[in-house]
A and B are shown apart, each in its own frame.
Chain A
């Protein structure tokens, strides 16, 4: 049986330990190990994805124990999509950090490997406690990444994030304890079968605790206050990874727990979808308005992420398979757009020595290539027609229109207007002539090699975001299959229980 599902987790772990061991060895060896490491993981993911697309969902019993006894790893369409995000994200992050010299920060690559291992662990987990452990690992690593710069503001933001994360993990642990007490097992498929044993009151509290605990990770509105400061504190490279990959891990965990484990596709889900729809609309409004009045580039991009989390919630909340597929597709696109924005924004911030937007006059003149990348991905994230952002927003709008929900549609349209307003603000400043070059502090001049590496990464990201609308139809059919499998977990359970003790 192929050991791919577990290798996807174990290989980054091995390289995390190896590269920290290599800390004591000459830097050439360390660079070699890190290089091999970040090539091997995407290779495993590609093999896993191709195997899954050919042979259908994969099942792996860790430790050789059958379903309810040991821990199960299961790879289906949904986990394949998010694994692709992870593999691409971390591969580009390594390339980008090598080329822009952030690689010199010690242990950055150890944390990148740990992040890869923990998020791929979440993506293939078939067991809720295993999902919880890897979520916690992601949290600890993210806290460290936020406080990596050890300046005044990042450290406080890391502390605030840590308190938020502690509360979120406590809520999730309470939910897991209640689920175990009611159903007697920790494997997702078994819980889904025996969920009816739970008294309705505790089922409601478990559902809410899961939504709120993962809402904190994704950025549901009343719980999002930590995000802007955490992204501002972390370097742009890390912020790109946070909003592109780590937030998507939260979305995946939410989808998996709500649909597969708690059976949200079932009868009493009208209330949940109504709540998600309302939460999504609030997110869109708060995110865009927050970004409009934000004068710090990274915080503005953070609020824009909150708004796009709103689009995903609205997609899920529409309650139809098409809406769910559109939401997953939007999550997939959002990675490419937001990471490109953060990573091209980094050069403006480095060039102007501050991320204060009014100081960014004339960046189009001093960083033309980066500005074009920033401009294209901003176009895409706002949702201008030929781009990927528009494609997913269009599909979400269609799903809403199907259910006749006009209000979220207006929120989406208004969101487009406001989001373009605050991106246009930067274009206006960027195109003008930079007056105050005289005050002496010249931005960090980046070497040609640095810019070339980063530009290559950004070009690939922008290429996707511009060409996504023209991909063949069966590229999108994977998303539809994922949505279908989420809403009908029956088939998912047969696979898991196939080898089970019955």
Chain B
């Protein structure tokens, strides 16, 4: 039951991130929306790794069932890549602010059009 609930949570976080990206007018908030989307993927990966009664995959003699370590490794890589992309995105936003003097998309597009 917990697996299905965590899947639903992952999907809803993904949709919240998407909603933020699609409707927000501020560039920084779009970057935030993107990182929410990426964290929803990490949530999905960890949910996939879950095993009934499994503990953290650090070996110690008395534990027998462990959670699946591979998705955790993938999650770490996904987080790092998300951080890289977000860093570049924030750099771009600073540059856009310097050129257009505003972070509001409508104003930027109107001055571009």
Residues of chain A touching chain B, judged by Cβ–Cβ distance below 8 Å, are: 129, 133, 136, 139-140, 143-144, 147, 150-153, 155-156, 158-159, 162-163, 165-167, 169-170, 173-174, 176-177, 180-181, 186
Contact = CB atoms under 8 A, between A and B. Distances in A.
Q: Which 3 A-B pairs have the closest CB atoms?
A: A181-B48, A166-B34, A136-B81
Nearest to B95: A155
Interface in B1-58: 14, 21, 27, 30, 34, 37-38, 41, 44-45, 48
A43 to B, nearest CB: 30
A170 to B, nearest CB: 5
Interface residues of B, number: 29
A304 B100 CA distance: 31
A144 B93 CA distance: 13
B48 A159 contact: no
A174 B27 contact: no
Among A144, A150, A151, A180, chain B packs the most CB atoms within 10 A around the CB of: A180
Contacts of B44: 174, 177
B95 A129 contact: no
Contacts of A163: 21, 30, 34
Nearest to A129: B74
B77 A133 contact: yes
Contacts of B48: 177, 180-181
B23 to A, nearest CB: 13
B96 A155 contact: yes
B70 interface: yes
Contacts of A169: 81, 85
A170 B38 contact: yes
Give the secondary structure class of B's interface: helix
B5 to A, nearest CB: 16
Interface of B: 14, 21, 27, 30, 34, 37-38, 41, 44-45, 48, 70-71, 74, 77-78, 81, 84-85, 88-89, 92-93, 95-96, 99-100, 108, 112
A165 B84 CA distance: 13
A162 B96 contact: no
A369 B64 CA distance: 74
Among B27, B34, B95, chain A packs the most CB atoms within 10 A around the CB of: B95
Contacts of A144: 88
B58 to A, nearest CB: 20
B74 A180 contact: yes
Contacts of A166: 34, 37-38, 85, 89
Contacts of A174: 41, 44
Contacts of B84: 136, 140
Contacts of B108: 156
Contacts of A147: 92, 95
Given A147-B92, A159-B89, A170 B37 contact: yes
B112 A162 contact: no
A150 B92 CA distance: 9
